[in-house]
A and B are shown apart, each in its own frame.
Chain A
Amino acid sequence: MPALDVILNALISGVLLGGMLALTALGLSIILGVMRLVNLAHGEFLVAGAYAGLFLLQWTGIDPLAGLALIGLVLALIGYPIHRFLLVPLAGKGPEASMMTMFGLSIILQNLFILLFSADTRAIDRSYATVPLELGPISVPQIFVIGFVISVVLIVAVHLLIARSRFGRDLRASADQPQAAAMIGINVSRVHAFTFCLGAACAGIGGTLIGVALSFTPTSGASYLLTDFAVIVLGGLGNVLGTLVGGIVLGVLQSIGGLTLGDGYRDLVGLVLFLAMLSVRPQGFLGHRA
């Protein structure tokens, strides 16, 4: 049995990391909720965000945290043509076609990353990633706290955007009944384009944070995709604030799993939980909006 402060540390870093996981899952969640698209290239968007942070630092010396907005913008700009040229033409061909197209994109991107950047494991090297923040017995890397705060702020902002703004109203209407939304004057394809870009931007920012806090490889995407699905299932589809809850729950459970079983089991805990959750309460996924 590990010492109390070790447990406490693990729990706290679980919460903080979970907040960041929630941000990485946010993009997947809104794209799924609004566009009914399972974005199987979501993991690659995360990895792209991490590379963007890495190269921003290497080439220009701009700190990735200072450049988060820029990275989000870059990912959104990458997302736009993907939506415009790959997804728009598939409108009306069923959800599988879009999902498989994103799957095709995911394997293209993955191998593109390997060809361009090599298969090496990378990490964005910043002092705040290693220097701990200490408070009594608790000691967590500074980035965990910074990343958590940024994630919570972004998630709450996206929640307010969807729940309160006029655009959010259009977005919810488009998610419910795309055809009816178009007929009352909503430019659904623009709403979808914006949603996709927003999702890509969130993924990119989340990816950068993960890239600083942990490490990544060109093929990390697949495992993050699954972790993010677990977050969405735990938090409930289409529920932005639920994503935060789901992320934190998963983060804590992963920490507990890593602590009790060994570090290699962190991801496995998440997946087993995900599969168990699916078999017990798929309503979390399916319930409403059949």
Chain B
Amino acid sequence: MTAAAHSAPLLDAAGLGKRYGGVVANDGIDIRLDKGRVLGVIGPNGAGKSTLIGLLGGAIAPSAGRIRFEGDDITALPASERARRGIGRTYQIPRPFLDMTVAENLAVGQFSLSPFISAATATAERRDILERCGLADATDVKARDLPLLRRKRLEVARALALKPKLLLLDEVGAGLIDSEVSELIALIRSLQDGERSIIIIEHVIRIVKECCEDLVVINFGKVLTKGPTAEVLASDEVSAVYLGTSHGGAANASPIAAPSTTADPAPSASATAAPLLALEGVSAGYGQARVIHDLSLSVMPGQVVGILGTNGAGKTTLAHVISRALPVTAGRIRFAGDDITALPPHAAAARGIAHCMEGRRIFASLSVEENLLVSARNVATAQCKERLERIYALFPVLAERRHAAGTSISGGQQQALAIGRALMAKPRLVIFDEISLGLAPVMMDRLYEALAELKREGLTMLVVEQDVERALDVADVAHIINKGRITLSGSAAVVRADERLRHLYFGIED
């Protein structure tokens, strides 16, 4: 790997390291990137990928190593100076300037770098970027009013307004459905003009495969391997740590979990039994925006119900409505026959609704074990212990780390902890909201195996998921939500076969 003799690489990071107290997030990472190249960075959750972006972008100060950009040492430069030299980054969780319009969000970078740019030029540049990113219609919309998906586009657009020589994309594909991934790939490709270099951190293998020329695999904060994308993805070592051994190579981002697909006994309770949960004509939203419209559904005891839909369809809003974290504007919610519409969330939890929230939400100042114990409310110590043992049997890794601080463990382990925390309440109904989001495939497999086991034990579950295959594997019944309404319901097999599912997910025109 010698750089071309006539020019130094655009980016040359050597021996980058970052520790947080005793935790090593990055350790001796070397990255070199020539002008015009696209580099992918993959690795399991908690491998230190986002830390790497922070180190390169300047948000995080390294504890070791140095970074050269266009030959200059930029290790000590703050984020703003790096941005001015041409390093643009996106945030994994979008952070737009909420009280400013989309155009103003882009103008920040423009005016900051060139305060005296002519208004006409600036406007034209913005229009061009917004069109490329599919935000042309939202120019004057306040960023606060954009849904998550469009905020992600705004992240990219805002970084592009810097006209960066190096663009750092942090999981811009997470949570997108196939048709959206295709759009994103087209966008990234259009940015490859031979001048601009891009580093892409991604779990969506399709993006990596189709956009990145080279690939670096990071595990436990270190570079595991690097090389041309196809070679790296084909290596056994990589599939073992990252993709999970059950799926050879990098064929598909939606593998089918092994268990429970054989026969389909559908242990749903008899139709005459009363539903455990029933929503009757529920509407809800945030402020002015109504997200859910007149929605009705019911969950029988022992049933596993999948809630599917694209981003922004209202799945998470629905989950929040059921666990009473969000008030309804119309309709009623019944749980075990009682009207719980007016209950606060803690009271809903007391009645047996557990909500394993999107984003895990682990308590940082509690240990792993305390995180579990805290949700066993008003339970005798002996019983607490019993439940703990059960969770530890389900996720042995939690037992190993029981005294560690809740957020010091890796992302996948935190997700296991979040599931365990929901189960500790011995709930009658558990809502699993996007538990696979942002996890390496091998970790998703493990979590869904755990869900399958819970299903065999007869736990009633509501599985909110954008990964269709995984949800349909575990669910008895599935509902597809689109724009806050149920557009398709039926048994998992029926939904799986229905054309409308494909329409929705693969972006075929109506």
> Which A residues lie at the B interface, using CB under 8 A?
169-170, 172-173, 175-177, 179-189, 238, 288-289
Cβ-defined partner of A169 (8 Å) among B349, B355, B362, B373 = B373
Check if B187 is an interface residue, CB within 8 A of chain A. no
Distance, CA A187 to CA B378, complexed state (A): 13
Distance, CA A189 to CA B425, complexed state (A): 20
- Given known pairs A183-B323, A183-B349, A184-B349, the reply for A176 and B374 (CB within 8 Å) is no
Check if B393 is an interface residue, CB within 8 A of chain A. no
Distance, CA A52 to CA B178, complexed state (A): 68
Check if B344 is an interface residue, CB within 8 A of chain A. yes
Cβ-defined partner of B365 (8 Å) among A172, A186, A188, A189 = A172
Report yes or no: A179 in contact with B325, Cβ–Cβ below 8 A.
yes
Within 8 A of A (CB), among B376-409: 377
Report yes or no: A172 in contact with B366, Cβ–Cβ below 8 A.
yes
Between-chain CB contacts (< 8 Å), 21 pairs: A169-B366, A169-B370, A169-B374, A170-B374, A172-B365, A172-B366, A172-B370, A173-B374, A176-B363, A180-B363, A181-B363, A181-B374, A182-B325, A182-B344, A184-B354, A184-B355, A184-B375, A184-B422, A184-B425, A185-B346, A186-B346
Min CB distance, B286 to chain A, in Å?
A: 11
Interface size class of B (residues with CB under 8 A): 20 to 34
Distance, CA A188 to CA B422, complexed state (A): 17
Contact with A along B198-227 (1 / 0, CB 8 A): 000000000000000000000000000000
Report yes or no: A183 in contact with B357, Cβ–Cβ below 8 A.
yes
Check if B421 is an interface residue, CB within 8 A of chain A. yes
Within 8 A of A (CB), among B358-375: 361-366, 370, 373-375
Check if B345 is an interface residue, CB within 8 A of chain A. yes
Residue numbers in B under 8 Å from A187 (CB-CB)? 344, 346
Check if B350 is an interface residue, CB within 8 A of chain A. yes
Min CB distance, A138 to chain B, in Å?
A: 40
Report yes or no: A183 in contact with B363, Cβ–Cβ below 8 A.
no
Within 8 A of A (CB), among B399-433: 421-422, 425
Give the 7 A-B CB pairs with smallest separation, nearest first: A185-B349, A180-B361, A184-B375, A182-B345, A176-B363, A185-B377, A187-B346
Min CB distance, B22 to chain A, in Å?
A: 14
- 19 more contacts with CB within 8 A, not counting A182-B345, A184-B355, A288-B364, are A170-B374, A173-B363, A176-B364, A179-B325, A179-B345, A179-B357, A179-B361, A180-B361, A180-B363, A182-B325, A182-B344, A182-B346, A183-B355, A184-B374, A184-B377, A185-B375, A185-B425, A189-B344, A238-B365
Residue numbers in B under 8 Å from A188 (CB-CB)? 346
Distance, CA A189 to CA B347, complexed state (A): 12
Distance, CA A172 to CA B373, complexed state (A): 13
Residue numbers in A under 8 Å from B361 (CB-CB)? 177, 179-180
Distance, CA A182 to CA B345, complexed state (A): 6
Min CB distance, A287 to chain B, in Å?
A: 11
- Given known pairs A169-B373, A177-B361, the reply for A183 and B366 (CB within 8 Å) is no
Report yes or no: B374 in contact with A186, Cβ–Cβ below 8 A.
yes
Interface of B is mostly: loop
Cβ-defined partner of A172 (8 Å) among B323, B345, B362, B363 = B363
Residue numbers in A under 8 Å from B373 (CB-CB)? 169
Residue numbers in A under 8 Å from B344 (CB-CB)? 182, 187, 189
Report yes or no: A173 in contact with B366, Cβ–Cβ below 8 A.
yes
Residue numbers in A under 8 Å from B350 (CB-CB)? 185
Min CB distance, A15 to chain B, in Å?
A: 30
Contact with A along B446-476 (1 / 0, CB 8 A): 0000000000000000000000000000000
Contact with A along B321-338 (1 / 0, CB 8 A): 001010000000000000
Residue numbers in A under 8 Å from B365 (CB-CB)? 172, 175-176, 238, 289
Distance, CA A72 to CA B463, complexed state (A): 48
Distance, CA A238 to CA B365, complexed state (A): 10
Distance, CA A182 to CA B362, complexed state (A): 13
Min CB distance, A91 to chain B, in Å?
A: 12
- Given known pairs A183-B357, A185-B349, A186-B346, the reply for A289 and B370 (CB within 8 Å) is no
Distance, CA A187 to CA B324, complexed state (A): 13
The chain A residue with its CB closest to the CB of B319 is: A183
Distance, CA A187 to CA B366, complexed state (A): 17
Distance, CA A173 to CA B422, complexed state (A): 14
The chain B residue with its CB closest to the CB of A191 is: B346
Within 8 A of A (CB), among B248-269: none
The chain B residue with its CB closest to the CB of A184 is: B375
Residue numbers in B under 8 Å from A181 (CB-CB)? 363, 374
Residue numbers in B under 8 Å from A176 (CB-CB)? 363-366
Report yes or no: B374 in contact with A183, Cβ–Cβ below 8 A.
no
- In this complex, the member of B355, B374, B421 whose beta carbon has the largest number of chain A beta carbons within 10 angstroms is B374
Min CB distance, A34 to chain B, in Å?
A: 11
Min CB distance, A242 to chain B, in Å?
A: 14
Residue numbers in B under 8 Å from A173 (CB-CB)? 363, 366, 374
- In this complex, the member of A169, A182, A183 whose beta carbon has the largest number of chain B beta carbons within 10 angstroms is A183
The chain A residue with its CB closest to the CB of B349 is: A185
Report yes or no: B325 in contact with A183, Cβ–Cβ below 8 A.
yes
The chain A residue with its CB closest to the CB of B350 is: A185
Min CB distance, B68 to chain A, in Å?
A: 29
Residue numbers in A under 8 Å from B422 (CB-CB)? 184
Residue numbers in B under 8 Å from A169 (CB-CB)? 366, 370, 373-374
Min CB distance, A29 to chain B, in Å?
A: 14
Min CB distance, B435 to chain A, in Å?
A: 14
Residue numbers in B under 8 Å from A179 (CB-CB)? 325, 345, 357, 361
Residue numbers in B under 8 Å from A288 (CB-CB)? 364
Residue numbers in B under 8 Å from A175 (CB-CB)? 365
Report yes or no: B346 in contact with A177, Cβ–Cβ below 8 A.
no
Residue numbers in B under 8 Å from A238 (CB-CB)? 365
The chain A residue with its CB closest to the CB of B406 is: A176
Min CB distance, B432 to chain A, in Å?
A: 13
The chain B residue with its CB closest to the CB of A162 is: B365
Residue numbers in A under 8 Å from B364 (CB-CB)? 176, 288-289
Min CB distance, A59 to chain B, in Å?
A: 42
Distance, CA A220 to CA B472, complexed state (A): 66
Distance, CA A191 to CA B346, complexed state (A): 12
Distance, CA A181 to CA B425, complexed state (A): 13
Within 8 A of A (CB), among B112-171: none
Min CB distance, B379 to chain A, in Å?
A: 10
Distance, CA A208 to CA B125, complexed state (A): 65
Residue numbers in A under 8 Å from B362 (CB-CB)? 177
Distance, CA A168 to CA B370, complexed state (A): 11
Distance, CA A180 to CA B366, complexed state (A): 13
